[in-house]
Amino acid sequence: MGEPASDGRVAVVTGGASGIGRATCIRLTADGYRVVAIDVGDAGADQAELALRADVGDPDDVEGAFGEVLGRLGRIDLLVNNAGITGSQQATLCHTTPVEEWDRIHTVNVRGPFLCTRAALPAMLRQGSGHVITIASIAGLVAFPQRCAYTASKGAAVMFTKSIAADYAAHGIRANAVCPGFVQSPMTQWRLDIPELRASVEARIPMGRVARTDEIAQAVAMLACDSLTYLTGHALVVDGGWTAV
């Protein structure tokens, strides 16, 4: 369980308009954070104190958004790199994946966390504290068949997390990742709406169901709590037992 952020700490959540990002904004708000939702579309003002539009893959957008966060709220205590995409149906086997599709996935899933973390770190360094939590995937730990670009991007997200943890621990900054299995969200709904695909997915999960977005948000809140201050460089698997068998 998370703990109240009674000192007015600020959390920035990318991809905050829907799915895991929206659930995370709601949970962190309940935990007492002043939450900023950043999204490329409707930024989700209903679940955050501040909602900003920005493309996480665009350096100018990111610098502008984080500059506005600091200008309005003065600090960044928690960054949740949640924005991500799985890619189109063209992004399958390596030899059939278009270069453009590979680049699109890595722009959001790898370049995005890099740019946002890069923008947040100077404030965290000034504060002498901070936490970067990146939503990766179990695909960053075990390969998803026929999802070469996505799997590679999430593997990069896990190692990016470890790199930040190693480089900034001495400055009071932690970095951890959450690695969900299959989650019911707008990004996955089209697959779950097909009965045979849903049955195939659920058959691989020992718990027999996909995760809810609030269950992933709870994992973020747990990592962010003050009771786990020695935990950094960790990839927390939340997959209903998928990778245990």
- How is 91-110 classified by DSSP, letter by letter? --SGGGS-HHHHHHHHIIII
Q: Rg for the chain (alpha carbons), in Å?
A: 17
Q: Which of 33, 150, 168, 230 is catalytic?
A: 150
**Separation in Å, CA 200 to CA 19, 91, 191, 229:** 22, 20, 10, 39
Contacts of 122 by beta carbon, 8 Å cutoff, 6+ apart: none
Using left for φ > 0, alpha for ψ between -120 and 50, and beta otherwise, residue 146 falls in left
* 240, 209 contact by CB (below 8 A): yes
Q: Six-digit token pair at 9?
A: 């700490």
Q: Taken in order 161, 97, 101, 90, is the CA torsion positive or negative?
A: negative
150: annotated active-site residue = yes
Burial (CB < 10 A; 0-12, 13-18, 19+), residue 65, is buried
* 66, 76 contact by CB (below 8 A): yes
Active-site residues: which are they?
A: 150
